[in-house]
Structure 1
Amino acid sequence: MEIEQTKPKDFTDSQHEIAHIIKALGHPARVAIIEYLLSVDTCICGDIVDVLPLAQPTVSRHLKELKNAKLIKGTIEGNTICYCIDENTIEELQKYFTNISAKLTLKNKNCC
């Protein structure tokens, strides 16, 4: 008798995007960078290094992860890169969590 194997469903592009964004926020240094960028209009990498208790190469690696997840964007100005929050990605996250909250409100609160 042959046992039928089921393939797991593929994940949607949206699920991959949200997971990538949330994974990028999975380190306290990256959360600290986001919070710092929220406290200033724009910033250069050197400013971030001065604020965090991390070496410049480590900060650069975290900035790269945040940029790859599109949580921040950077523009080159001379020899420096100015970073700021990417509002579009933050809006995506906000919509995602708002949707979760709305579904929880509709869901039976006696679950589990």
Structure 2
Amino acid sequence: MRYADSGVLMGSNMLGIDIVKNYYLKAEVPLWRAVRAMSLTPRKALGMDGEYGSIEVGKIADIFIWDKGLETAVRPKALLASENDYKPNDLLSSKFKVHRVQKKD
């Protein structure tokens, strides 16, 4: 394993949405289980589920919403986060900031 010396546990050149889509469609598991397998389960394994992995008050989250079935999902064109529109290149720049989910009164 070429990453063994660098501390990398595993790697893939697939995007998370592609992994979720393949698991959901090919293994025929419920969508919620496929999403959890890509979000909360790895965070728990790494001891990071206190801040990441699920949508809860105080946790860090990126949320993508599609209006069609998951079969049609390929690559998101933009992300709406904290009332700001971001394009794919913005997500790699310093102007993109991580926001915590806030409880609404």
TM value normalised by structure 1 = 0.24
Structure possessing the higher relative contact order (Cα contacts under 8 Å, 6 or more residues apart): 1
TM value normalised by structure 2 = 0.25
Bigger radius of gyration: 1
- Structure having the higher helix fraction is 1
- Structure having the higher strand fraction is 1
